[in-house]
Amino acid sequence: MRSPADPFALPNHGGELSLAAARFGQPADGWLDLSTGINPFAYPVPVLPPVVWQRLPDSGDDLSLREVAADAYGINDPDLIAAAPGTQAILQLLPRLRPFSHVAVVGPTYGEHARCWGNAGHQVTPIETLDRSTSADVVVLCQPNNPDGRRFEPGRLLEIAEIQAAKGGLLVVDEAFVDATPEISISHLVRPGLLVLRSVGKFFGLAGLRLGFAVAEPQLARLIRQALGPWAVSGAAMAVGAMALADQEWIISTRRRLPQEVAALNAVLGRAGLTVVGGTPLFTLVNASRAWALYEYLGQSGILARPFATSPRWLRFGLPPDDAARQRLVTALENWT
């Protein structure tokens, strides 16, 4: 997983600047990294007091963080929440908490779900549409979906969660990119049969912080807390996460800003003849007849987009951080033939 990978293979994840440098060389102007869906207008992190680094966060700190998250997500009980060093940590352990299961992953979607369930020995089947009559023990989807931005009707998800609950199954809804469109979130509606994942990294632009949450019925949330063990979340993630999640002013203005930013990005991509086929306020998916060649061309120009090994016509772009960056993309695309 973390060993040096083949730089000439397509990357498995966005943000792999080390691999990009191995493939394309280090760009003279530095990377313009558009390969992730991380908000480039990040929550401003203040200077932290030394205690954040020095003290072992205790169970009271963990409870306080879960209370802040409960408030932020409209959840009435912090015992429905488990805090983790990034939702990836939950993806890694969740498959170990279930006996052998048939797992249906609604895709194409974020690859780590299928990878983690598969690595733990479960039988994973990719499915294209959400089917209420599924025989799968576990159904996994992303709301909105990454990379195409597909949305699922919340009422339908709750209905499927109930069907799953009735047979001892589980619906996993990864809301990593939901913060910009909270009206489609169901994290405040968790019930038996439903597990919702929330991330701090994307919307708040704090991917390096490593903070995410699982929301589930109390028994499952407790099981996840136990599997994570004590002190899973760093002092800095606790302090900064609590600030960010409670900062309504920043959240509201960011929810207003992101759709404008993605519209400006889409305009640039459209003028270059690329067809936007989906997205969220944090990223855009385009269809390009030679997407891998365009990825290669942009990479040579120091601009990193996100190709997909399984979808040779897709390329995903994150938000440029400023006008100069957007102009750099414009210039590169103008010279693309």
Of the candidate residues 69, 197, 209, 215, the single one contacting its own copies (CB under 8 A): 209
CB of 166 to its own copies, least distance (A): 28
Considering the complex, state which of residue 171 and residue 240 has its C-beta at the smaller distance from its own copies.
240
224/219 Cα distance (integer angstroms): 9
CB of 179 to its own copies, least distance (A): 16
Tokens of 128: 């294209």
* Phi, psi of 11, rounded to the nearest 5 degrees: -70, 150
DSSP letter for 10, please. Answer: P
CB of 10 to its own copies, least distance (A): 14
In terms of Cα–Cα distance, which of 285, 291, 294 is closest to 337?
294
Site for its own copies contains 1 (CB under 8 A):
yes
Beta strands at 170-174 and 194-199: parallel, antiparallel or unpaired: parallel
Of the candidate residues 74, 230, 270, 273, the single one contacting its own copies (CB under 8 A): 230
Considering the complex, state which of residue 86 and residue 108 has its C-beta at the smaller distance from its own copies.
86
What string of H, E and C letters represents the secondary structure of 273-318?
Answer: CCEEEEEECCEEEEECCCHHHHHHHHHHCCEECEECCCCCCEEEEE
Residues 40-99 that bind its own copies (CB under 8 A): 40, 42, 45, 47, 50-63, 79, 85-86, 88-89, 91-93, 96
CB of 88 to its own copies, least distance (A): 5
CB of 220 to its own copies, least distance (A): 14
Considering the complex, state which of residue 52 and residue 276 has its C-beta at the smaller distance from its own copies.
52
Contacts of 240 (CB under 8 A, 6+ apart): 43, 45, 48, 206, 209, 211
Q: Where does this chain touch its own copies (CB under 8 A) — which range of 101-109, 141-149, 201-209, 307-315?
A: 201-209
Of the candidate residues 23, 113, 225, 306, the single one contacting its own copies (CB under 8 A): 225
Site for its own copies contains 176 (CB under 8 A):
no
Site for its own copies contains 205 (CB under 8 A):
yes
- Taking CB under 8 A as the rule, which mask of x and - marks residues 260-299 in contact with its own copies? ----------------------------------------
Q: Is 39 exposed, middle or buried (0-12, 13-18, 19+ CB in 10 A)?
A: buried
- Taking CB under 8 A as the rule, which mask of x and - marks residues 24-43 in contact with its own copies? ------------x-x-x-x-
Site for its own copies contains 133 (CB under 8 A):
no
CB of 23 to its own copies, least distance (A): 12
Considering the complex, state which of residue 25 and residue 230 has its C-beta at the smaller distance from its own copies.
230
Distances 263 to 34, 82, 178, 316 between C-alpha atoms, Å: 15, 35, 18, 14
Distances 244 to 46, 131, 199 between C-alpha atoms, Å: 11, 36, 12
Q: Where does this chain touch its own copies (CB under 8 A) — which range of 143-151, 176-184, 203-211, 306-314?
A: 203-211
Q: Tell me if 232 sits within 8 A of 202, measured CB to CB.
A: no
Q: What is the DSSP string of 133-200?
A: T---SEEEEESS-TTT-----HHHHHHHHHHHHHTT-EEEEE-TT-TTSGGG--GGG--TTEEEEEES
35/206 Cα distance (integer angstroms): 15
Considering the complex, state which of residue 190 and residue 288 has its C-beta at the smaller distance from its own copies.
190
Q: Tell me if 97 sits within 8 A of 223, measured CB to CB.
A: yes
Binding site for its own copies (CB under 8 A): 1-5, 13-19, 21, 36, 38, 40, 42, 45, 47, 50-63, 79, 85-86, 88-89, 91-93, 96, 112, 116, 119, 201, 205-210, 222, 225-237, 240
